[in-house]
Amino acid sequence: MLARVYSCAVIGLDGVVVEVEVDTGGGLPKMVIVGLPDTAVQESRERVQSAVKNAGFYYPRRRVTVNLAPASVRKEGPAYDLPIAVGVLIATNQLDPQTVENTLIIGELSLDGGVRHVKGVLPMAALARQAGYRTVVVPEVDAPEAALIPGITVIPAPTLNALFDHLRGDALLSPAVPPEHDPEEILVDTDFSEIKGQEHVKRALEVAAAGGHNLLMIGPPGSGKTLMARALPSILPAMTIDEELDVTRIYSVADMLPSDVPLIRARPFRAPHHTISHAGLVGGGNWPHPGEISLAHRGVLFLDELPEFSSKVLEVLRQPLEDKVVTISRAQGSLTFPANFQLAAAMNPCPCGYFGDPSRPCTCSSTTVTRYQKRVSGPLMDRIDIHMQVPRVEYAKLRDLKTGESSAEVRARVEEARARQRQRFEGTSIASNADMYPAQIRKYCELDDACQALMKTAMRQMQLTARAYHRVLKLSRTIADLAGSEEITQVHLAEALQYRPKLELM
């Protein structure tokens, strides 16, 4: 007889229902899988046959035809083993078809009938609920991840046998319960109190964290740029549950969810090396895989030694920095991954590192300095809200300076500023001031006459582009939020303007 079981494919970050039809008929004893399967699906023939036999079930000595539909959806990976095996049991009358009604089944089989981990279970469970299924069967190890989706029963399958007994009602498997919401997690690599001096840089980091703004630190080697960037995660605001799910979905599809961490609670902090490839940064590949900019979604992308990155790699950052998503084109049509990250970058002012240093001469020629700085294009520089000069702190002073505020103290202020933003943008997709579109900028970043006069002068003197103008307004909004002020005042605006790049660095 013909058996029909439902399973799931993931395209980009979204699940798509796949119908698994299994038919047994005459002909040579052989399994044929049709419906554009890739090599992994072909291998699943061997696994399904062994698993069914080794689990003690009857495997037909006839032709078994498996059709994965729709054919237009390219299927990847071994997630269809379990639904195919269940289909075989139904097609050979060992299992009643009604037992899998309203159920989506996902899982890889080992040769002995064990059910193994599959990536992307979170978007699959989300699809199952959205498409109106009541139950989703997933590998036992992936059940806590699937259980993050409310409103659908998640059955953890340890083995084909256990699932068979469950479906027949002989020995029920308990549905997975959503993982407990642990106290929030903060990544603390470096605490703010470890950073001596550099008060103005710490202030800039606080402003960046409070509004989700991009930041560039420029200074000589050893001035603490890397140290301070690594301290940024310790003052970032906690994520909302929607943000956590958003991030977790990406890591689920990238197969980067640690098995003991079903839900990602800490904002991502990604620091790819400058030798990273184009595909590694933006995503891509045969089966498009999210890149570093998507793994940094809702968190920080830290590019240390910015001019060392190839200019081709840096140019592709422009679209996501503007649109907060990245579009990957491929033969089967283009795909979009979220990429709403906060860029933190660091660079030396010149190859030797001492251009502009008060105590040590720069050995680079002026053309070398210009060429070095030009490696980072003007349009990319223009998309960075906060440009910070980082001077070196003398060794003697490093020892003398007393310890400053801890990350926890700074973070408390960041959280307050974020609370104001959450209230402001409630019911919209905007998470922080940096995400505002022109409509919100008009509404929430109004300038009084004095501020307008200041802005007009600055626009002329600093030759601000229209994009820079909007970025200054958003930054002023964040500085006002940190000060607990409804209005943007001249003080707030002046601080925001001070973070624009100096002209010789453009």
Residues forming contacts to ligand ADP in the complex (CB under 6 A) are 195-198, 219, 221-227, 346, 393, 398
Binding-site partner at residue 107 among Mg ion, ligand ADP, none, CB < 5 to 8 Å by type: none
Q: How far is the CB of 398 from ligand ADP (least distance, A)?
A: 6
Q: Is 417 within 8 Å of 482 (Cβ atoms)? A: yes
Give the residue with the Cβ less far from ligand ADP, 162 or 303.
303
Minimum CB separation from ligand ADP for residue 186, in Å?
20
Q: Which does 494 bind (CB under 5 to 8 A by kind): Mg ion, ligand ADP, none?
A: none
Q: How far is the CB of 225 from Mg ion (least distance, A)?
A: 5
- Residue tagged 């058996």 (tokens): 3
- Which amino acid, 278? H
Answer with the entry of ligand ADP, Mg ion, none that 213 interacts with (C-beta below 5 to 8 A by kind). none
Q: Smallest gap, in angstroms, from Cβ of residue 201 to ligand ADP?
A: 8
Task: Tell me whether residue 189 or residue 487 sits nearer to ligand ADP (CB atom).
Answer: 189
Q: Partners of 9 in the beta sheet?
A: 16
Q: Which CB atom, from 196 or from 424, has the smaller least distance to ligand ADP?
A: 196
Residue 492 exposure: Cα atoms within 13 Å on the Cβ side: 26
Least gap, CB of 348 to Mg ion (angstroms): 8
Q: What does 195 bind: Mg ion, ligand ADP, none (CB cut-off 5 to 8 Å by kind)?
A: ligand ADP
Using CB distances below 5 to 8 A depending on partner kind, what does residue 262 bind out of ligand ADP, Mg ion, none? none
CB closer to Mg ion out of 226 and 406? 226
Selection from Mg ion, ligand ADP, none that 212 binds (CB < 5 to 8 A by kind) is none
Q: Are 35 and 69 in contact (CB under 8 A)?
A: yes
- 475, with CB counted inside 10 A (0-12, 13-18, 19+), is buried
Smaller CB distance to ligand ADP: residue 35 or 349?
349
Q: List, as one string, the DSSP characters of 389-416.
A: E-PPPPHHHHHHSPP---HHHHHHHHHH
Going by C-alpha positions, the residue among 233, 230, 227 that lies closest to residue 187 is 233
Q: Which backbone phi and psi does 260 adopt, to 5 degrees?
A: -95, 5
Beta strands in 43-168 (DSSP E): 63-69, 103-105, 108-109, 115-116, 135-139, 153-157
Query: How many C-alpha atoms does 368 have within 13 Å on its Cβ side?
Result: 12
**What angle in degrees, to the nearest 10, is found between the helix axes of 81-91 and 39-54?**
50
Which residue lies nearer to ligand ADP by CB, 271 or 393? 393
Which residue, 158 or 391, has its beta carbon nearer to ligand ADP? Answer: 391
CB count in 10 Å sphere of residue 322: 11
Using CB distances below 5 to 8 A depending on partner kind, what does residue 198 bind out of ligand ADP, Mg ion, none?
A: ligand ADP
Cα–Cα nearest to 218, from 228, 206, 232, 231: 228
Identity of the residue numbered 28: L
Minimal distance, residue 203 CB to ligand ADP, in Å: 14
* Locus of tokens 């929030």: 184
Q: What is the 3-state secondary structure of 318-341? A: HHHHHHCEEEECCCCCCEEEECCC
Query: Which stretches of the chain bind Mg ion, using CB under 5 A?
Result: 226
* Residue 401 CB, nearest approach to ligand ADP (Å): 8
Q: Which does 227 bind (CB under 5 to 8 A by kind): ligand ADP, Mg ion, none?
A: ligand ADP
Orientation angle between helical segments 466-482 and 407-424, nearest 10 degrees: 110
- Closer CB to ligand ADP, 101 or 394, in the complex: 394
Q: Which is nearer to Mg ion, 80 or 302 (CB)?
A: 302
Nearest-approach distance from CB 317 to ligand ADP, in angstroms = 21
Shortest CB 307 distance to ligand ADP, Å:
14
Task: Give the residue at shortest CB distance from ligand ADP.
Answer: 224
Question: How many helices (H) and strands (E) are present in the chain, helices listed first?
Answer: 20, 18
User: Among Mg ion, ligand ADP, none, what does residue 248 contact (CB within 5–8 Å per kind)?
Assistant: none
